[in-house]
Structure 1
Amino acid sequence: MAIAAAARFHGAELDRADIRLAEHEVPSPAALSAWAQTGGLWAKGVRLGWKQLVALDLKAPLVLLLNDGSAVLVMAADRKRNVILLRHSRLGPQDPPMVVDEKTLAQAWSGEAVMMRTKRSSSAEDAPFSLGWVANLVWQERRSMRDVLLASLVLSILTVLPPLVVSTVIDEVVTYQSLSTLVLISLLIGIAMLSETMLGFARRQLILVVGARVDAKLNLHVFQRILGLPMDYFERNQAGMIWANTGIQLAKIREFLTGKLLTTMLDLMTLVVLLPILFYLQPLLSLIVLLCAGAITGIMVAFMKPMSRRVKRYIEAETAKSSVMVETLHGIRTVKSLALEPQQRERWDARIAEATKAKIEAGRLANLPQALITPIESFMQRGVLLLGAYLALTDGGAVAVGGLVAFMMLSARVAAPLAGLARLMESIEEVRTATALAASVLNQRPETADPAGGVRPRLQGAITFRNVGYSYPGATAPALDRVGFGIAPGTVLGIVGRSGSGKSTLTRLLQGITRDYQGHVSIDGIDLRDINLSHLRRNLGVVLQENFLFRGTIRENILAGRPGLTLSDAVRAAQLAGAAEFIERLPNGYETMVEEGSPNLSGGQRQRLAIARALVHDPRILILDEATSALDPESEALVNANLAQMAQGRTTVIVSHRLSSLTGCDAILVLDQGRIVDLAPHGELVRRCPVYQQLWHQQNRHMIESPVSA
């Protein structure tokens, strides 16, 4: 493919499994760009004309997407001859490129292309999350923001017109009975009203678009960062806390930047236009208005720090409340089955009480500056009018009535932005708290520093552990202690041991979930930490004791978004997992909907679907971690009967506490307190391994003990 060939020019290898396409779907420029980005490249879908194409100074191949769904590489452009040099991706470097002119290319190409280059060393996407980072996201919409500011500037100028018109009507039209002046003023007012309406509509539309774009970019980036967090982070933190600290707080940040902050900044533009006019009309009154606004600002600044502490306490209480709700919804089956409603209601009531108390405390503190600000605002609106009237009476007519009315109309427009700027400081503290909470999640160390990095070998399945040790944070004893063994490709390995012996930890290391271990884990002689994490996991099929099924059809759950796979692949995997029989008995077969939480399937059916999902992409390594422990005897027998067929051609690792299901394994690894006790087939372990003998006798005592004779 041309995209892969262009990526190789930049030293990147793209994996076909990284591109998400439906069957027979022609990839769009956006999909191809996203695919290139998984390889660590910068890529962008563009639309070019012939003149732009021949004018390009190409330092790397450009990919043209042809109308028939294929693609070619532009190797060079010759502006003098008005031609370009094309090469098909299937041609080798020794094959000469084709010389193509505008007319020939126009028959096969409509303008779509993909530009690619290596990423710069410092990427904004990888920068720590902060308020400045979000502000930079808003700054990327500066073209639209420029139009918004331009519209705001014109609107600010237009706001000056009505008060001046009123002043003219009072001082000129009414005083001198000038009808012609009135007609002219009416015409100007009509034009101004129409212009203000149209500009106001355009400005609101632009603000809406900017807000929607920022919101979309923010949500996409945040979700990507959350997906990049390591598994142990989700195991240590509640889902409700993660959601409250990201989704809820990010909504506040975005609303502040594209809402209150933007509106206040636009209102300040009005202030810049109006203040010179106010000082021209009434310097003394204008100074009084500014002093009042300064007093309001001082009051708000004085209460900023205490308010920040109260707001943070309230947000934390709301987060704890959300955690209880999310946890209850996730565990509603357990709550119902164990009649835990009173206990959950008690927890919810306690969290509601804490949140309500924190909200009242924050509200009471916020009420104090408002009580101090209200009389100052009232004086700005009414007291200045009385003072102006006094000046008009005592200044011998130096202050015109029309000018005073115009000043009051304009000063009302000035007071609101100044008061809004003061309140903005209070909002900034709240947003800073929200940013800190969001950063506590998003700035966690990702699972891998470079998702596109690492080698992507064609795995065969040889697994080697050399002197591997690992301890969970806070644990006093290691989960794995100097573990070392090796198995050849195609081996079926069983892993047994008492609870806490390190069985599941070993499989977590194989999946790359835990990478900060000591020693070396390798597949086919390649260190596991050198393999691209996504590539590794695509070559693994993993079935756990408890598996999650997504809301959707059975076919969608088995295929699980694997590109290029069809219904026939789902049927084959279901047959291997022993699930085909019950699926075909369902009314809609493979199109049967799996509801949220899969209540319409039994535990055995869910587990067999999970096994089918793990097998559908033909993984080189299959990991079954207590995969049959939750199955009923009939389902377990069916899965075990198909195990030899499942394991054919791949390395299989089976963790199980039921030793009877492991007797057919090529080798069984016995663990005890994180150390290897023995590694041998079942028959040898029964003869020589005390730990295995004890486990075997415990599970098969009824078969070993002789019946008592009558």
Structure 2
Amino acid sequence: MDQTQRVSGPGRDVSPAVIRLYAALAAARFHGLELDIRDFAAEPGENTPSPASLARWLNEQGAVAKGMRLKWRYLLRLQNSPPVVLMFKDGSAGLMVATNPEKGVVWLRDPMGGDGDTPIPVDELRLSQVWTGDVLLVKRRRDESEADARFDLLWFAKMAMREKKILRDIAFASMILSILQIFPALIVMQVLDRVVNYHSMATLVSLSSFVLILTFYEILLTYARRELSLVLSSRLDARISLHAFNRLLALPLEFYEREQTGEILGRFVAVFKVRDFLTGQLMSTMLDLFTLVVILPVLFLLSSTLAWLTLASAGCIGLIVVLFLPAVTRVMGRQIRAEMNRGSTLYETVAGIRTVKTLALESTRREEWDQKTADVVRWKLAAGRMSNWPQTLVMPFDAFINRGVILVGAYLVLTNASNMQAGSLAGFMMLGGRVAAPLVGLAKLMEAINEVTVSLVEAGAVLNQPTETKALTTGMRPRIKGALSFMDVNFSYPGSTTKALDNVAFEVPAGTMLGLVGRSGSGKSTVTRLLQGVSRNYTGYLRLDGVDLREINLTHLRRSFGVVLQDNFLFRGTVRDNITAGRPGLTIDDVVRAARLAGAEEFIERMPAGYDTWIEEGSTNISGGQRQRLAIARAVICDPKLMILDEATSALDPESEALVNANLQRIGKGRTMVIVSHRLSSLVNCHQIAVMDRGKLMDIAPHHVLLERCEIYRTLWMQQNRHMNASASPDDADQLAEGE
């Protein structure tokens, strides 16, 4: 954003770009959506937020927004609409809250003001001097929208029906093409019955001209229909892919923790089989059905006997397919699940290839892969054999439609049983082939639905899980200071009979450096999970600055925290991209400031390309200490008032740990820090240290107080500092033995 342009007002000095952002925020707030201006990321090279950028941002945050250009007369018609954002020529914006077509004025309100400010009437002449003609329309997304609805065939059908205009054009083109396909058969009839029998050259010339004209229009309409079908399938493909991936991102972390990653990916990919079916076989079959609707009546006019025989044969094909449907579906489901299990093994092997190589597990993984492949081959063979039966049984009926009908028709011509001539028989065969293909295709479509149904069930096992969409897009967005309050908090993990947290209660003011210690399984990491909103089904009260954590917007909550874990994941990209991963709109100055605060500036500047150095997959070209400092820089770049460090230094060497701890002392000034660590030496400077054991809070106090009064803490301290306790008393030795 260009911060050099300024708009002066009473007591403010704000850039036009910021005013435009606040206008979009005010329009969203009218619909109950509280957004954070810091979440907006401008497009590259965009100094002022465009209507398209604002619409994209609002749509990502749970609204329905659209940018468009309107003329004055259409703007006046928006009488009962919610606030409309008008884009001004200087890069700022205003809020149109009402219109009066009779007086020819619109009422504007300052987006930087309060909701109770008096709007100002503006006529067309005055508005045209500042208005670009662009507007941003905002409304709240329906409770049950495409983003939240259940993934099933009905969802896909609704998705397709959104393209009504294209579907209408395709249907119209298909209907005209079906009508045009009647004429070649009629022309053949005329050629055989009139041209050949009567040797009429004039009729042949007329029919030839007519054929050329029909061919031209058929080619033109076929091209147009293919183009429309391509556009429709591309749009459906993009929309389905976007919604499926957004649903995947909206699933809670708990789901990913309890499910196998390979199976999640395998089931997610199954949704693309449904997509291919909808945009491929289903669409082509539906288009062919137009031919059936138009040509079938003509067939009955030519010969009702042959028409009924054709329909009866196609009906038998459909009946055979339907009868084999359950068995084929059952076997095909086993095949798909076997393929998913094999894909899961492949993913685990590739993801853990470092462990496989270092422990020489190639033979073990190869044996498991061979077993999974054998399962896939067995069920694929069974599915193929099961499908082979209906395909074989329908062949006699298919052969009768293509070959037998002409023999029956020849018999009718010879016996003159239905006044049928040779030309009529030839025309019937031409049209009959076009009718039989859609009928056979419709029967085979039933077989394809088997695989699609199984794929839909597998994809639904992932995509229909409860999401965090509501928590991510609704809730309060308070200003975070960092005061924490636990009041009788109880929490149990799903399936567990013991409490991970048992009546935990403590309070710390904002700016406190809080350490969490305890043996493994004592509940330390569970406290951090609750703070991050990963798990929300706890009892009791957990408040942040006096506000219940479950009432706070989840996106706002997580972006207000800085989190550093024991093993931080760095994305494949540049150092700068990784530091700004959560705030893509920040500048290089912000990146340098965060790196300096995290103690990472020194080694970044020694890298070949500095902040543009590429980090390889798995962060193989940087050390563990460097990765941790980059993670800290990524956490502090948004200047969070509350930071969580969960075993952030446990995997570091002593030198790197000392450097990170020194940086943490500097970073912690003015922030609330929650530090989980097994190494008590890194917590001695904390204002408060909470001692956990079996889900209970045993004590909370500074280091020197805990050494005196908390037996668990004293035992842990003595275990880790034996070299300093060479002269320990026998009683202390006994305590150490008991603690171990």
User: Following the alignment from structure 2 to structure 1, what is the Cα–Cα distance between the partners of residues 58 and 526?
Assistant: 34
User: Following the alignment from structure 2 to structure 1, what is the Cα–Cα distance between the partners of residues 417 and 726?
Assistant: 122
Moved more, 628-637 or 75-84: 75-84
- Structure 1 residues 672, 91: closer, same or farther in 2, change over 3 A? closer
Which residue does 1:266 correspond to in 2? 287
Q: TM-score, normalised by structure 1?
A: 0.96
2:312 is the alignment partner of 1:295: no
Deviation at 1:129, TM superposition (A): 1.6
SS of 1:455's partner is coil
Q: TM-score, normalised by structure 2?
A: 0.92
CA RMSD in angstroms comes to 1.8
- Structure 1 residues 608, 109: closer, same or farther in 2, change over 3 A? same
User: Following the alignment from structure 1 to structure 2, what is the Cα–Cα distance between the partners of residues 413 and 452?
Assistant: 52
Deviation at 1:647, TM superposition (A): 0.3
Q: Is the 8 A contact 1:17 1:563 kept in 2?
A: no
Deviation at 1:188, TM superposition (A): 0.9
User: Following the alignment from structure 1 to structure 2, what is the Cα–Cα distance between the partners of residues 109 and 201?
Assistant: 43
- Structure 1 residues 220, 509: closer, same or farther in 2, change over 3 A? same
Q: Is the 8 A contact 1:579 1:608 kept in 2?
A: yes
- Post-superposition CA distance 1:218-237 (Å, at most 9, x none): 11111111111111100111
Residue 43 of structure 1, aligned match among 60, 65, 73: 65
Deviation at 1:398, TM superposition (A): 3.2
Which residue does 2:253 correspond to in 1? 231
Deviation at 1:258, TM superposition (A): 2.1
Q: Is the 8 A contact 2:262 2:344 kept in 1?
A: yes
Which residue does 1:579 correspond to in 2? 600
SS of 1:513's partner is coil
Q: Aligned partner of 1:581: which letter? A: E
2:296 is the alignment partner of 1:275: yes
Which residue does 1:629 correspond to in 2? 650
Q: Is the 8 A contact 1:75 1:85 kept in 2?
A: yes
- Post-superposition CA distance 1:327-365 (Å, at most 9, x none): 222212222222222222222211111111111111101
Q: Is the 8 A contact 2:413 2:421 kept in 1?
A: yes
User: Following the alignment from structure 2 to structure 1, what is the Cα–Cα distance between the partners of residues 593 and 146?
Assistant: 44
User: Following the alignment from structure 2 to structure 1, what is the Cα–Cα distance between the partners of residues 506 and 378?
Assistant: 58
Q: Aligned partner of 2:174: which letter? A: S
Deviation at 1:467, TM superposition (A): 1.1
User: Following the alignment from structure 2 to structure 1, what is the Cα–Cα distance between the partners of residues 61 and 617?
Assistant: 34
Moved more, 121-130 or 525-534: 121-130
Q: Is the 8 A contact 1:577 1:612 kept in 2?
A: yes
Which residue does 2:211 correspond to in 1? 189
- Structure 1 residues 249, 389: closer, same or farther in 2, change over 3 A? same
- Structure 1 residues 237, 156: closer, same or farther in 2, change over 3 A? same
Which residue does 1:375 correspond to in 2? 396
Which residue does 1:468 correspond to in 2? 489
User: Following the alignment from structure 2 to structure 1, what is the Cα–Cα distance between the partners of residues 27 and 101?
Assistant: 22
2:205 is the alignment partner of 1:205: no
Unaligned runs of 5+ in 2: 1-21, 729-740
Q: Aligned partner of 2:322: which letter? A: V
Q: Aligned partner of 2:170: which letter? A: V
SS of 1:138's partner is helix
Which residue does 1:63 correspond to in 2? 85
2:120 is the alignment partner of 1:97: yes
Q: Is the 8 A contact 2:99 2:106 kept in 1?
A: yes
Residue 508 of structure 1, aligned match among 515, 529, 535: 529
Residue 633 of structure 2, aligned match among 609, 612, 616: 612
**1:350-361 → structure 2 map (5 Å cutoff):** 350-361=371-382
2:559 is the alignment partner of 1:524: no
2:169 is the alignment partner of 1:151: no
- Structure 1 residues 478, 90: closer, same or farther in 2, change over 3 A? closer
Which residue does 1:308 correspond to in 2? 329
- Structure 1 residues 435, 396: closer, same or farther in 2, change over 3 A? closer
Which residue does 2:236 correspond to in 1? 214
**1:545-560 → structure 2 map (5 Å cutoff):** 545-560=566-581
Which residue does 2:717 correspond to in 1? 696
User: Following the alignment from structure 1 to structure 2, what is the Cα–Cα distance between the partners of residues 41 and 385?
Assistant: 62
SS of 1:598's partner is coil
- Structure 1 residues 60, 397: closer, same or farther in 2, change over 3 A? closer
- Post-superposition CA distance 1:365-394 (Å, at most 9, x none): 100011111111111111111111122222
Deviation at 1:196, TM superposition (A): 0.9
User: Following the alignment from structure 2 to structure 1, what is the Cα–Cα distance between the partners of residues 284 and 105?
Assistant: 51
- Structure 1 residues 397, 693: closer, same or farther in 2, change over 3 A? closer
- Structure 1 residues 67, 197: closer, same or farther in 2, change over 3 A? farther
Which residue does 1:255 correspond to in 2? 276
Which residue does 2:8 correspond to in 1? none
Residue 74 of structure 2, aligned match among 52, 58, 62: 52
SS of 1:431's partner is helix
Q: Is the 8 A contact 1:14 1:35 kept in 2?
A: no
Which residue does 1:488 correspond to in 2? 509
Q: Aligned partner of 2:403: which letter? A: R
- Structure 1 residues 38, 177: closer, same or farther in 2, change over 3 A? closer
Deviation at 1:638, TM superposition (A): 0.7
Deviation at 1:673, TM superposition (A): 1.1
2:42 is the alignment partner of 1:28: no
Aligned length: 705
Unaligned runs of 5+ in 1: none
Moved more, 644-653 or 687-696: 687-696
Q: Is the 8 A contact 2:33 2:474 kept in 1?
A: no
Q: Is the 8 A contact 1:670 1:679 kept in 2?
A: yes
Deviation at 1:565, TM superposition (A): 2.0
Deviation at 1:72, TM superposition (A): 1.3
Deviation at 1:706, TM superposition (A): 4.3
User: Following the alignment from structure 2 to structure 1, what is the Cα–Cα distance between the partners of residues 518 and 283?
Assistant: 62
Which residue does 1:438 correspond to in 2? 459
**1:81-96 → structure 2 map (5 Å cutoff):** 81-91=103-113, 93-96=116-119
User: Following the alignment from structure 1 to structure 2, what is the Cα–Cα distance between the partners of residues 641 and 90?
Assistant: 42
